[in-house]
Chains A and B, each alone.
Chain A
Amino acid sequence: MNAAKKIKDPIFHLSLPKKIDDTTLNNFFSQKPADHIREVHLDFSLTEVVERTFYQSLYRLKRELSTDNIELKSFNISKSVQSQFHESGTESFLNIVKKNNSRLVDVHFIQPFINATVNVLQVQAKLECKMQTPTLKSNFKIPYDVDIAGVLSLVSDAFMGSIALSFPKDSFLKICSIVYGMEFTSIDEQTEDAAAEFLNMIFGGAKAELNKDRNYNIQKALPTVIRAESLNLRQYSAESTLTLPFQTSAGPFHIDIEIVKKT
């Protein structure tokens, strides 16, 4: 886990649940924001019910952030929810930004996937895994042929999307040889499992972190394996797919993450 490359984004994105009350911000309050955080974004896309007890938490949030010179902004707030804040006299704390520009695939979303990937490779294959610079898929020319990939659908209350874990044959077989403790020279039914199971473990780790800290409510999903020579995976849109390239002593591989906001 220690080898995970940390990306410092100045924005902390918090997706609020359907019903918000005095417990909603507990996770946030339990840890002091990192020094590089300059803005906290509250995303109200899912919120329908505001319990009165939330107003006190909001006041505390605003006060603590002001002390640390951090700006609070609120996005995607419905008229009915906004009017509840208005009536309570706390609307001005929210700093509502009308334009829907709070990002979903941001650093806070991808960092758990990076952490989980590094952890899974380290624990299960004893491989140190270094992430290269993340980039939009449309700008990323894969420097190898993809021969096998595990893919999985991402479904949550707020968005849908997919994750693909892709390997060239050489890297994949070397990693499998380490994990299985025997040498493989071709991808077969037995080794195909590894692509699915690695993705399953990465997804499981990232999902737990995102659901706990960000209230995303990402649903359970099972991976599927796709095999082909020079596989070219098409997700929803290359323009909104982020590619995370990794390098290990067994060779490179990459993860594509695509998120589309539900309308």
Chain B
Amino acid sequence: MFDPTKKVLIVDDMSMIRRIVKQSLAEIDYKNVIEAKDGQEGWNLLNVHHDDISFIISDWNMPVLTGIEFLEKIRTSENVKQIPFIFLTAEADVSQIKQAIDRGADNYVLKPFSPASLKAKIEQTYTKVKGRIAA
């Protein structure tokens, strides 16, 4: 699994979701969490902490810098482009999920979600990206 001593960056404009994600991560031993309320704030935090971030969990529909814009910035920036990215969405819409994966998201989590389903998605993501992040 991802290194639990490293940070997880949670990006969501809704404090309730940040809280739920943080609590769910704590239940599966990811207690080192930093939070941002939109993509721009997430980007700023990423630039400060990029060497110490294990993976990112980000909402899709956000003000200032949306999830997709945030993801595009990450995937085109040399020093952070390998960081695993899981997007959160309330829409079980196949075209949106496909769009996110095409743009470089590594996985997605549908809201509402339980700690167990979040854990399963994180494990699935790790299996998918471990070769990339080890390289």
The verdict on A34 contacting chain B, using a C-beta distance below 8 Å, is no
> Shortest Cβ distance from B26 into chain A, in angstroms?
10
Interface of B, secondary structure class, is: loop
> Shortest Cβ distance from A246 into chain B, in angstroms?
16
Find B112's partner among A119, A181, A191, A193 (CB 8 Å cutoff).
A119
CB neighbours of A124 from chain B (8 A): 20, 111-112
Name which of A141-149, A199-207, A227-235 contacts chain B. A199-207
The verdict on B82 contacting chain A, using a C-beta distance below 8 Å, is no
Interface of A, secondary structure class, is: helix
Count the A residues whose beta carbon is within 8 Å of the partner chain — how many? Answer: 24
The verdict on B65 contacting chain A, using a C-beta distance below 8 Å, is no
Q: Are A120 and B23 in contact (CB under 8 A)?
A: no
Q: Are A181 and B23 in contact (CB under 8 A)?
A: yes
Bound together, the chains give a CA A222 to CA B90 distance in angstroms of 11
Known contacts A119-B112, A120-B112, A123-B113; A179 and B16 CB within 8 A of each other: yes
Find A194's partner among B16, B61, B113 (CB 8 Å cutoff).
B16
Q: Mark B43-83, 1 if CB is under 8 A from A, else 0.
A: 00000000000000000010000000000000000000000
CB neighbours of B17 from chain A (8 A): 193, 197
CB neighbours of A207 from chain B (8 A): 91, 93
CB neighbours of A181 from chain B (8 A): 19, 23
Closest to B91 in A: A204
Known contacts A124-B20, A124-B112; A190 and B92 CB within 8 A of each other: no
Find B61's partner among A180, A193, A222 (CB 8 Å cutoff).
A222
Beta-carbon contacts under 8 Å, B1-26 to A? 14-17, 19-20, 23
Beta-carbon contacts under 8 Å, A156-211 to B? 176, 179-181, 190-191, 193-194, 196-197, 200-201, 203-205, 207-208, 211
The verdict on B114 contacting chain A, using a C-beta distance below 8 Å, is yes
> Shortest Cβ distance from B56 into chain A, in angstroms?
20
CB neighbours of A19 from chain B (8 A): none
CB neighbours of A119 from chain B (8 A): 112
> Shortest Cβ distance from A192 into chain B, in angstroms?
9
Q: Are B92 and A208 in contact (CB under 8 A)?
A: yes
Closest to A124 in B: B112
The verdict on A220 contacting chain B, using a C-beta distance below 8 Å, is yes
Give 17 A-B contacts (CB < 8 Å), ordered by A residue.
Answer: A123-B113, A176-B16, A179-B16, A181-B19, A190-B16, A193-B14, A193-B16, A197-B14, A197-B16, A197-B17, A197-B111, A200-B90, A201-B90, A205-B90, A205-B92, A208-B92, A208-B93
Q: Which residues of B contact A (CB under 8 A)?
A: 14-17, 19-20, 23, 61, 89-93, 111-114
Closest 4 pairs between A and B when the two form their complex, measured CB to CB: A204-B90, A208-B92, A123-B112, A124-B112
Q: Which residues of A contact B (CB under 8 A)?
A: 119-120, 123-124, 176, 179-181, 190-191, 193-194, 196-197, 200-201, 203-205, 207-208, 211, 220, 222
Given contacts A179-B16, A191-B16, A204-B89, 17 further A-B contacts (CB under 8 A): A119-B112, A123-B113, A123-B114, A124-B20, A124-B112, A179-B19, A181-B23, A193-B17, A196-B14, A200-B90, A201-B90, A201-B112, A204-B90, A204-B111, A207-B91, A208-B91, A220-B61
